[in-house]
């Protein structure tokens, strides 16, 4: 079984780090995983994509993900039809936004059944870290909405990645996002 | 293709052509290349050592041999040419500040 | 070779940790107790050297890090270090490998047993920091043993195997371990690392037999006149021949001790295949995941993964080719103006002729400057290989170029 996650963020938001933490968590949990960014313009503010592939076997393509099971959007300004390109029927869309799942579905023109999870990661990041770096908060939402990796493994890795006080602040960000994520299954318009 | 039956085959040469015997260049007597031979005029020589410094083949010998010039000046050392390796380039003659070294045609057929 | 019971215990599953290929290589360098590292940073190799510097700073590796001003100096220093008997390592990519080119020949000519990792990257101009195989393909006739690896784990393992092969007194050739820049260098994945004692038991330091030593003077790199030069270069031909057997032995012994082995080439889904795709590094890894989809549509194409490239494992490749009707060779470098414009395709064409194989060859150039290739592209290549059983494709196909 394989789960492909595509991350959409802006340079500086930590999409690549988040993609790696999820892969590392899967590896610690005994699965095979790859995490890699869409290489190139690593500039603050520029749109970036990152990929995580999790699998039971090492037979995993090293290609950009075109048909993700999960799409994670770290910046609401990136919400367009393109964001959900190739997102599988029955997949999940995790978004950092103050909007509701229904509003998100409308903006991206959702035309298939998808679990949409929203969390106000900016607010959580500001309150816990004091900076709008949303990658750890969005991890909480991802774990809550998909269970793709365990919360405890994720927290352990966040603690390792960010040492000391920063680690604890990030752990708090994950936890609060985990608790405040709002999830709706959005059905295609004709069946809704 | 090989005309040199006496030279070693590839596997007889140490890898990469490493030369394992130190000082093997002593076997290579470059003295046979000479057309002109340097002759040091021991009376003129002021023992400045420049020829010894400049010789590209280390063919100038600095010997602990006493020498008394015709004017009675006494030197504790003597510079001589090692003709086994001197290739006759003339650098020493050029550098000698008192023109004590003369390049003369190499005697032919061992006449000396 | 007998393996001690304690060593056998190591084969038990160890817990993998998440590492990029660059980090995995740095770990291998640490676990091999390398003595001298001389390298110059270049994207996407840089984090290899950064990680090694970190190990040295943290006291986990006792090595001399030589800070040099160019790759030319980096390799020169590495060669010199190896010739003094040290275990020496360097790493580079792209333009860096090009700048080393002169010393590549000197390293093999002097028989310096060094290992170098190459995070393969396209060549300027125009500038590209992205991945293809142009750099390593330009180094294929320099007398280096060349491995292409397909995972971070394999990179770790092959750097270790590399020293065992390079330092073997029957070989004494430098080893290059090449992997796709970014696509592998910066991808995090699970890697099992071994403890230093086991690694050194497998690859004990066997320093250069004619090392520079004031107590025992030798001359290395002397002028070789026409009576001598040819024999000294021919020694490399013979050393390469012996390296093939040594590489096989090194891989098998690695498998016995650590439970992982790769073969010199890997034939994947080759049984019952009527056609093969030849690929290296990350493309081979991707094809393994994608080919089952091809078989579902009746496209019975196997993968011939080229792991050891120099010396070329001719017997194994011929054996695989002799059982199929067509072979599609993916080149990630361009041989401008050549009969086939892919360097590997030219070699396969020669191989097919040499062994009188009735195989249709398709030459495909792809992924130049990391031109995007998604799973469906690999599926298309599988179909192309399949078609070629009956339809000849005499010209190199430049897959994905805008024409
Ligand atoms: S002629 Fe040249 S080689 Fe001979 S002694 Fe003078 S400097 Fe040396
Ligand atoms: S350079 Fe002339 S003066 Fe000086 S030591 Fe030599 S021969 Fe004598």
The 10s digit of each residue's pLDDT in C298-317 is 999 999 999 999 999 999 99
Q: What is the pLDDT of residue C109?
A: 98
Q: What is the CATH number of the domain that holds C297?
A: 3.40.50.920
pLDDT at B4: 55
C7 is a domain residue: no
| Any domain includes C4 | no
Instruction: Tell me the residues of chain A between 40 and 59 that have a Cβ less than 8 Å away from chain C.
Output: 40, 58-59
User: In the predicted model, what is the mean pLDDT of residues C127-150?
Assistant: 97
Q: Chunk chain A into consecutive blocks of 10 residues (it has 192) and report each block's average pLDDT, rounded to whole numbers.
A: 95 93 96 90 81 96 97 96 96 97 96 97 96 95 98 96 93 98 91 49
The answer to whether C173 and C144 have CB atoms below 8 angstroms apart is: yes
Q: Do C302 and C232 belong to one domain?
A: no
Residue C96 belongs to a domain: yes
Split into its structural domains, chain A has a count of 1
Query: Per the domain annotation, does C9 fall within a domain?
Result: no
C109 and C244 housed in the same domain:
yes
Question: What is the distance in angstroms between the CA of the first residue and the CA of the last residue of chain B?
Answer: 41
What pLDDT, on a 0 to 100 scale, did the predictor assign at position A163?
A: 86
Domain finish residue from C230, C258, C286: C258
Residue C86 has pLDDT above 50, yes or no: yes
Neighbors of chain B by Cβ distance (3+ pairs < 8 Å): C
Q: Which of C238, C258, C278 is the last residue of a domain?
A: C258
Q: Which DSSP string corresponds to B12-41?
A: GSPGGG-B-STTGGGGS-GGGG-SEEEEE-
Domain at C54, CATH number: 3.40.50.970
Q: Can you tell me the mean pLDDT for C37-51?
A: 97
Q: CATH number, domain at A42?
A: 3.40.920.10
Average pLDDT value for residue range C63-72: 97
In a domain, A191, yes or no: no
Give yes or no for a cis peptide into A179 (omega within 30° of 0). no
Q: How confident is the model at residue C13 (pLDDT cuts 50, 70, 90)?
A: low
**Which candidate in C24, C93, C130, C187 is best for mutational testing of the A interface (most A CBs within 10 A)?**
C187
Residue at A178 is within a domain? yes
Residues C192 and C304 in one domain: no
Residue at A177 is within a domain = yes
Per-residue pLDDT reduced to its tens digit, B11-44: 999 999 999 998 888 898 999 999 999 999 999 9
As a whole number, mean pLDDT of residues C259-273 equals 97
Domain extent, residue C219, equals: 15-258
| pLDDT at B3 exceeding the cut of 70 | no
Q: Per the domain annotation, does A192 fall within a domain?
A: no
Q: Which of C45, C96, C138, C128 is nearest to C368 (CA)?
A: C128
* Pick from C189, C183, C111, C99: nearest CA to C148: C183
In a domain, residue C353? The reply is: yes
| Average pLDDT of the residues in C142-166 | 98
Q: What is the pLDDT of residue C113?
A: 98
Residue C7 in this model has a pLDDT that exceeds 90? no
Instruction: Find the range with the poorest average confidence among C39-43, C189-193, C206-210.
Output: C206-210
Q: What is the pLDDT of residue C120?
A: 98
Check whether residue C58 and residue C146 sit in a common domain: yes
Average pLDDT over residues C15-25: 96
Residues of A with Cβ-Cβ distance to C286 under 8 angstroms: 61-63
Range of the domain at A27: 2-186
**Chain A residue with minimum CA distance to C282:** A62
* Same structural domain, C207 and C314: no
Rounded average pLDDT over C233-242: 98
Strand order in the sheet with C397-398: C265-268, C301-306, C275-279, C326-331, C360-365, C397-398
Nearest CA to ligand 1 atom 8: B55
- List residues bridging with C221 in a β-sheet: none
Average pLDDT, chain C: 96
The CB of B79 under 6 Å from ligand 2? The reply is yes
CA of B49 to the centre of ligand 2 (A): 5
**Contacts B8 to C, Cβ<8 Å:** 231
Q: Last residue of some domain: C258, C286, C305? A: C258
Place of tokens 């993609």: A19
Asked if residue C296 and residue C251 are part of one domain, the reply reads no
DSSP state at residue B9 = P
* Total domains in the fold of chain C: 2
In a domain, C140, yes or no: yes
Report how far residue A189's alpha carbon sits from residue C289's, in angstroms, rounded to the nearest whole number. Answer: 35
From residue B71, alpha-carbon distances to A178, B44, B64, B68 in Å are 107, 10, 20, 8
ipTM: 0.94
Q: Helices (DSSP H) in chain A: which residue ranges?
A: 15-28, 101-108, 121-128, 135-146, 151-161, 164-180
């Amino acid at each position: 079984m394989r789960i492909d996650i595509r991350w959409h963020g802006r340079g500086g938001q930590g999409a690549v780090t988040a993609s790696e933490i999820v892969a590392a968590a899967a590896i610690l949990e005994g699965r095979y995983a790859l995490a890699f960014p869409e290489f190139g313009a690593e500039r603050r503010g520029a749109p970036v994509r990152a990929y995580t592939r999790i699998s039971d076997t090492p037979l995993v393509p090293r290609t950009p993900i075109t048909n993700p099971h999960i799409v994670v959007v770290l910046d609401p300004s990136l919400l367009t039809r393109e964001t959900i390109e190739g997102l599988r029927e029955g997949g999940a869309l995790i978004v950092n936004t103050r909007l509701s799942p229904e509003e998100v579905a409308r903006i991206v023109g959702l035309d298939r059944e998808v679990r949409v999870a929203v969390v106000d990661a900016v607010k959580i990041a500001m309150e816990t870290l004091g900076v709008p770096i949303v990658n750890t908060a969005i991890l909480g939402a991802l774990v809550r909405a998909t269970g793709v990796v365990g919360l405890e493994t994720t927290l352990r890795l966040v603690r390792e990645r960010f040492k000391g006080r920063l680690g604890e602040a990030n752990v708090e960000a994950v936890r609060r996002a985990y608790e405040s994520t709002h999830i709706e299954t959005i059905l295609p318009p004709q069946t809704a | 293709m090989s005309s040199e039956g006496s030279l070693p085959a590839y596997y007889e040469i140490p890898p990469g052509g490493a030369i394992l015997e130190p000082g093997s260049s002593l076997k290579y007597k470059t003295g046979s290349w000479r057309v002109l031979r340097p002759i040091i005029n021991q009376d003129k020589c002021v023992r400045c050592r420049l020829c010894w410094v400049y010789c590209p083949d280390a063919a100038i010998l600095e010997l602990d041999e006493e020498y008394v010039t015709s004017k009675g000046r006494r030197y504790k050392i003597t510079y001589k040419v090692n003709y086994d390796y001197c290739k006759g380039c003339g650098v020493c003659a050029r550098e000698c500040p008192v023109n004590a070294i003369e390049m003369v045609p190499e005697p032919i057929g061992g006449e000396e | 070779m007998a393996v001690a019971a304690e060593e056998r215990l190591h084969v038990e599953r160890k817990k993998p940790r998440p590492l990029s290929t660059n980090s995995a290589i740095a770990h291998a360098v640490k676990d091999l107790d390398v003595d001298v590292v001389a390298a110059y940073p270049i994207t996407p190799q840089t984090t290899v050297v950064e990680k090694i510097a970190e190990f040295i700073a943290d006291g986990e590796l006792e090595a001399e890090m030589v800070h040099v001003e160019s790759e030319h100096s980096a390799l020169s220093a590495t060669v010199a270090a190896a010739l003094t008997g040290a275990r020496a390592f360097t790493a580079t990519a792209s333009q860096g490998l090009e700048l080393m080119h002169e010393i590549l020949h000197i390293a093999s000519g002097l028989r310096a047993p060094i290992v170098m990792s190459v995070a393969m990257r396209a060549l300027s101009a125009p500038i590209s920091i992205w991945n293809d195989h142009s750099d390593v393909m330009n180094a294929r006739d320099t007398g280096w043993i060349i491995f292409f690896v397909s995972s971070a784990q394999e990179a770790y393992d092959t750097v270790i195997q590399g020293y065992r092969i390079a330092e073997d007194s029957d070989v004494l050739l430098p080893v290059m371990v090449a992997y796709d820049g970014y696509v592998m260098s910066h991808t995090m994945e699970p890697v099992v690392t071994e403890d230093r004692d086991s690694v050194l038991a497998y690859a004990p330091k066997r320093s250069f037999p004619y090392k520079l030593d004031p107590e025992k003077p030798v001359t290395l790199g002397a002028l070789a006149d026409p009576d001598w030069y040819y024999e000294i270069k021919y020694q490399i031909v013979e050393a390469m021949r012996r390296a093939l057997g040594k590489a096989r032995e090194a891989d098998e012994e690695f498998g016995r001790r650590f439970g992982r082995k790769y073969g010199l080439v890997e034939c994947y889904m080759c049984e019952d295949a009527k056609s093969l795709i030849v690929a290296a590094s990350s493309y081979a890894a991707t094809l393994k995941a994608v080919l089952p989809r091809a078989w579902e549509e009746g496209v019975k194409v196997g993968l011939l993964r080229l792991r050891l490239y120099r010396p070329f494992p001719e017997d194994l490749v011929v054996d695989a080719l002799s059982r199929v009707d067509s072979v599609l060779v993916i080149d990630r470098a361009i041989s401008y103006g050549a009969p086939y414009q892919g360097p590997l395709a030219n070699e396969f064409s020669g191989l097919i002729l040499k062994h009188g194989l009735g195989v249709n060859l398709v030459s495909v150039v792809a992924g130049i400057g990391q031109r995007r290739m998604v799973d469906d592209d690999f599926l298309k290549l599988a179909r192309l290989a399949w078609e070629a059983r009956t339809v000849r494709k005499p010209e190199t196909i430049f897959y994905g170029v805008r024409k």
